Chains A and B, each alone.
Chain A
Amino acid sequence: MRESLVQVNNLGIGFTSRAKVTLPILRNIDLAIGEGETIGLVGESGCGKSTLALAMMGYLKSGLRVLEGDSLFRGRNVFDMDKRALEDIRGGELALIPQNAGQSLTPTSRIGRQINESVKLHTRLAKEQRRERVIELLSQVRLPQPQELLNRYPHELSGGQQQRVAIAMALAGEPDVLLLDEPTTGLDVTTQAHILELLRDLATETGTAMVYVSHDLGAIARVSDRIAVMYAGEFVLEGPAHQVLKWPAHPYARGLLLSIPRLKEAVVPTSMPGLPPPPGGAGQGCAFADRCPMTEQLCRDKRPALEPTAMQELVCCHFHERVDQLPLPESPKRPDRSNLDELNNILRLENVAINYAKPSIVDQILNRQPDVTPTVDKIDLTICRGETIGLVGESGSGKSTILRAIAGLLPPQSGTITYDKAESLNTPVGERGKDLLRSVQLIFQNPDASLNPRHTVAELLAQPLKLYFGLGGDELRERSVTLLERVRLRADYLERLPSQLSGGEKQRVAVARAFAAEPELVLCDEVTSALDVSVQAAVLHLLTQLQVDHGTTYVFVSHDLAVVRALADRVAVLYQGRLCEMGPSENVYRSPSHPYTEVLLGAVLEPDPDAEPVLAAEDAVDLFPPAKGCPFYRRCPRHIGDICDNETPPWQPTGPGHAIRCHIPLGELLNMQYQSATTN
């Protein structure tokens, strides 16, 4: 048995509430990390995974303290070490790669200096040698032009570059163990895939052990040898990555994996009912008892302990043998799509161009449009009544901009938007008729920001009801209660303030508010991106149900390809504000694809240990659309020549309703992509 580098023994961490009660954040944590192995800590928000990772460094957020147990690093308890000893190992043998690199780098200090600081603290190199080492580190994390980068400030770098710098800084001390706290949150899909590959390579090159903390099972699947699933502050399942992901032996882990949408199926994932208990709210039984599909009395009376299974796992469940016998839950019914009629369209965008740049004074006087490349250009979309169309793309793709234009918050610079074949949506909100306003509703990404913190749920729902239907008094209240029921919230939620609701509940209220207007068209702007996976599944389920009941049309914007696959009938892929590909979702998600779609699909991380992402394009970021030619030409791995730089690519139809905007002839494209698929 190799000696473990990190050994956590029965660790319990908690805080004392205002009411003088001790509430645990972590309970009974046992973990051993040996040399060179990568362990993934996965769980949803509030499960304590970040606290655990930081605790391994002896760091506790203010207010927290150790209730029991300890955490050893090379045999020494980090909570007993004095400041000097801790400073020695932190950043040295035990290094942290933080969640938000942009905010974790000191803004007033140059990159070179910050990395040099780590090198100086943890190695004995002389000044010149240190400079070389810093450049070496920057190259190791595959950053271009390291000499030049030395003199830059953190804010001059992109998100992906900042994260690489954070990794370089952590490697400066030649660590034996790396702690990674959600290092790819907030990064684009393609950037994320690149960073993960880098981490994998580094692990093999340097033999460093890693503790990878994340809520993203796809990322965890890619890097981990072993996985530990956390729920309500404890480990519920621990074992080899392959085993845990394919045959999860705990009902929570199983439920979690089932709630993740997959690329290959157009199925809305199932969700688990209920919410995790708050700290100290688990009672004396199993913390998952309230939500488990196979709960029995024993589960409520006695807490299970971690037991080994035949497959080298540890499970915390009384009845774990029965888990694989649980029936697969039924997926919610998808609405009938056979009678979609292009002529019965509800929304039509024709050659729409939108510009964020405001005209300068000179332009205003001369009454001309600014001569700038539009943020969004050449958008042609027809949306049929009752369908769900997904707009997919990374940051800068213009997908949210298009939604705002449809909603009337941003006027198009040119082109027309027609609603229901009759009315023009080119007019801004202030000039639209009440009926039109009612028919088109918008739901936002972040429920914390989209609900006025000072209004109760009743007031939030009352606004559209009063505005569009002139309701009041009892009728208003009745309708509000009905609305809440439709989103599966009890009537007593009416009196609550947003601060008293969970993230998922807030988003449900936002959905209820949108549907209060009885709209025909609902615009969803990344509505599940800020939610935990299981909560996301519940909201997707809700949206599907509402669509079945009311025949609503959705324009669903997301960067998450799997979520869009689950929900959308048709998909449009955007890059830098221009359309690349459009068609029925099952066609878009397979070959032949636009090169950008190919890159996107290749970068998706599925929670499948056998899946390997394909990194086609480089990890670069385009900040603005090019003035002419194909928007993707600067990064395209299938770039064929000057024609891509100079001429707008034509629409090439590949099948009914499916077209790709590319210069490469379809047959060739199909061939190339087939070859790439088979060689990988």
Chain B
Amino acid sequence: MATTNNTDSGKRKTAFSTLQTVLSAMASRPSGLVGLILVAFHIALAIVSPAIAPYDFRELSAQIILNEPSSEHWFGTDNLGRDIFTRTMLGGRQALLVTTISTILAIIWGGLLGVLFGLVGGRLDEFLMRLVDAFLCLPWILVLLLIVVTVGSGPVVLIPTLGFFYGIPVIRMARAATHDVVALDFVTAARARGETRSTIVRRELLPNVLDVLLVEGAMRWSWMLLAFSSLSFLGFGVTPPTPDWGLMISDARSFMSIAPWVALPPVIALSSLIIGINLSADALAKALGIDRAQKAPV
């Protein structure tokens, strides 16, 4: 009933211009801008760091253990004489690689399944959701540890494991979003026209569920990082000598009283990336008009 302005030029929105609109909306808030900068910085760092790192991350040297920061070693050296600056720069690479791919995996398979469940409805849907709920009762770290311990660690195991496990809460969320959309008349209109199920999913549902999935994806990414670095911290993630922030923090614990500078760089690096992702996710949610914080962390 609104007398909306029909004097708009009504230009067709291409995917690219939508991306531009969304990004600029995100950047219009100071928190969103900060988030975007942090994320962009880390991604760029992960890509170029091998080329610009001053030292070899494996290079051990018994003479310079636990040196304080100096002009040669800007962040000092760790307990094996390795340059902390180099290791910090490289420490996010594996984490970012693994988590990015697993997040995409999780969103794809969780999203598709969730949409499917939402459509199917009825008893089958309810039973499957019970199963999903039961899975969600397991402490995530336990499952990850179990799998890593028995099968082995490394990206080949971690990516599918993280992707599978973190896809499960996505199912729940995609299902809820699907329920909301299916109730709307335009889906009923498509059904009444006799469109096939796949057409309805593809043309009516997915474009409208996509927003929610995108925001969820951003949040999942930060949980993945958290999980991955926690695993590394406990010694079950990356295999040394590959540098990783979680592992570096764990190693640094033993020397905290005598060499506190060892822990600081990875702490700052990891925290800034996670905060950046979270701020961006929040800004994305606001830009797309989604009320997010009402959901529990799973």
* A/B touching: CB–CB < 8 A: yes
Binding site for B on A (CB under 8 A): 45-46, 275-276, 278, 281, 361, 407-409, 429-430, 432, 434, 437, 441-442, 444-446, 449-456, 463-464, 467, 492-493, 495-497, 499-503, 505, 513, 517, 530-532
Residue pair B192, A442 in contact (C-beta under 8 Å): yes
- The distance in angstroms between the C-alpha atoms of A490 and B190, with both chains bound, is 25
- Within 164-223 of B, Cβ neighbours of A (below 8 Å) are at 184-186, 188-195, 203-204, 207-208
What is the distance, in angstroms, from B290's C-beta to the closest C-beta of chain A? 14
- The distance in angstroms between the C-alpha atoms of A524 and B67, with both chains bound, is 81
Which of B3, B13, B190 makes the CB contact (< 8 A) with A463? Answer: B190
Residue pair B191, A409 in contact (C-beta under 8 Å): yes
What is the distance, in angstroms, from B189's C-beta to the closest C-beta of chain A? 5
B134 within 8 A of A: no
Known: A45-B2, A275-B3. A446 touches B208 (CB 8 A): no
Which of A45, A434, A452, A495 makes the CB contact (< 8 A) with B194? Answer: A434
On chain A, the residues within 8 Å of B10 by CB distance are 492-493, 495-497, 500
- The number of residues on chain B lying at the interface, defined by a beta carbon within 8 Å of a beta carbon of chain A, is 28
Closest to A525 in B: B185
- The distance in angstroms between the C-alpha atoms of A429 and B195, with both chains bound, is 9
On chain A, the residues within 8 Å of B188 by CB distance are 409, 444
B12 within 8 A of A: yes
Known: A451-B186, A497-B13. A409 touches B3 (CB 8 A): no
Residue pair A46, B193 in contact (C-beta under 8 Å): no
B291 within 8 A of A: no
- The distance in angstroms between the C-alpha atoms of A80 and B10, with both chains bound, is 43
- The distance in angstroms between the C-alpha atoms of A446 and B184, with both chains bound, is 10
Residue pair B3, A502 in contact (C-beta under 8 Å): yes
Which of B4, B186, B207 makes the CB contact (< 8 A) with A499? Answer: B4
On chain A, the residues within 8 Å of B185 by CB distance are 444-446, 449-450
- The distance in angstroms between the C-alpha atoms of A449 and B190, with both chains bound, is 12
On chain B, the residues within 8 Å of A502 by CB distance are 2-4, 6
On chain B, the residues within 8 Å of A495 by CB distance are 10-12
- The distance in angstroms between the C-alpha atoms of A407 and B191, with both chains bound, is 10
Closest to B208 in A: A454
Residue pair A275, B192 in contact (C-beta under 8 Å): no
What is the distance, in angstroms, from A513's C-beta to the closest C-beta of chain B? 8
What is the distance, in angstroms, from B34's C-beta to the closest C-beta of chain A? 23
B71 within 8 A of A: no
- The distance in angstroms between the C-alpha atoms of A258 and B52, with both chains bound, is 78
Known: A450-B186, A452-B186. A501 touches B6 (CB 8 A): yes
Known: A501-B4, A503-B2. A467 touches B208 (CB 8 A): no
Knowing that A408-B192, A409-B188, A501-B6 touch, tell me 8 more A-B residue pairs with CB under 8 angstroms: A45-B3, A437-B194, A441-B192, A444-B189, A452-B204, A453-B208, A464-B193, A495-B10
Interface residues of A, dominant DSSP: loop
B8 within 8 A of A: yes
What is the distance, in angstroms, from A321's C-beta to the closest C-beta of chain B? 30
B1 within 8 A of A: yes
Which of A444, A501, A532 makes the CB contact (< 8 A) with B1? Answer: A532
Q: List 9 A-B contacts (CB under 8 A).
A: A45-B1, A281-B7, A429-B194, A449-B184, A492-B10, A495-B10, A497-B10, A500-B8, A517-B193
- The distance in angstroms between the C-alpha atoms of A390 and B203, with both chains bound, is 33
On chain B, the residues within 8 Å of A361 by CB distance are 123
Residue pair B194, A432 in contact (C-beta under 8 Å): yes
Residue pair B1, A531 in contact (C-beta under 8 Å): yes
On chain B, the residues within 8 Å of A451 by CB distance are 186
What is the distance, in angstroms, from B190's C-beta to the closest C-beta of chain A? 7
- The distance in angstroms between the C-alpha atoms of A605 and B203, with both chains bound, is 43
Known: A452-B207, A454-B208. A442 touches B189 (CB 8 A): yes
Which of A278, A409, A452, A453 makes the CB contact (< 8 A) with B192? Answer: A409
- The distance in angstroms between the C-alpha atoms of A275 and B2, with both chains bound, is 11
What is the distance, in angstroms, from A628's C-beta to the closest C-beta of chain B? 32
- The distance in angstroms between the C-alpha atoms of A430 and B200, with both chains bound, is 13
What is the distance, in angstroms, from B201's C-beta to the closest C-beta of chain A? 13
- The distance in angstroms between the C-alpha atoms of A408 and B194, with both chains bound, is 10
On chain B, the residues within 8 Å of A446 by CB distance are 185
Residue pair B6, A505 in contact (C-beta under 8 Å): yes
B150 within 8 A of A: no
What is the distance, in angstroms, from B293's C-beta to the closest C-beta of chain A? 21
Closest to A275 in B: B3
On chain A, the residues within 8 Å of B13 by CB distance are 497
Closest 10 CB pairs of A and B: A437-B194, A496-B10, A450-B185, A449-B185, A46-B3, A454-B207, A45-B1, A452-B186, A444-B185, A503-B1
* B1-30 contact mask (Cβ, 8 Å, vs A): 1 or 0: 111111110111100000000000000000
- The distance in angstroms between the C-alpha atoms of A449 and B187, with both chains bound, is 9
- The distance in angstroms between the C-alpha atoms of A429 and B194, with both chains bound, is 6
Closest to A444 in B: B185
Known: A437-B193, A464-B193. A449 touches B186 (CB 8 A): yes
On chain A, the residues within 8 Å of B189 by CB distance are 442, 444, 450, 513
Residue pair B193, A467 in contact (C-beta under 8 Å): yes
- The distance in angstroms between the C-alpha atoms of A430 and B192, with both chains bound, is 9
Closest to B210 in A: A454
Residue pair B186, A467 in contact (C-beta under 8 Å): no
On chain B, the residues within 8 Å of A500 by CB distance are 4, 6, 8, 10
- The distance in angstroms between the C-alpha atoms of A409 and B182, with both chains bound, is 14
Closest to A499 in B: B4
Closest to B12 in A: A495
Residue pair B190, A46 in contact (C-beta under 8 Å): no
On chain A, the residues within 8 Å of B203 by CB distance are 452, 455, 463
- The distance in angstroms between the C-alpha atoms of A382 and B190, with both chains bound, is 27
Residue pair B1, A463 in contact (C-beta under 8 Å): no
Residue pair A276, B3 in contact (C-beta under 8 Å): yes
Residue pair B204, A278 in contact (C-beta under 8 Å): no
On chain B, the residues within 8 Å of A278 by CB distance are 3-5, 7
On chain B, the residues within 8 Å of A441 by CB distance are 192-193
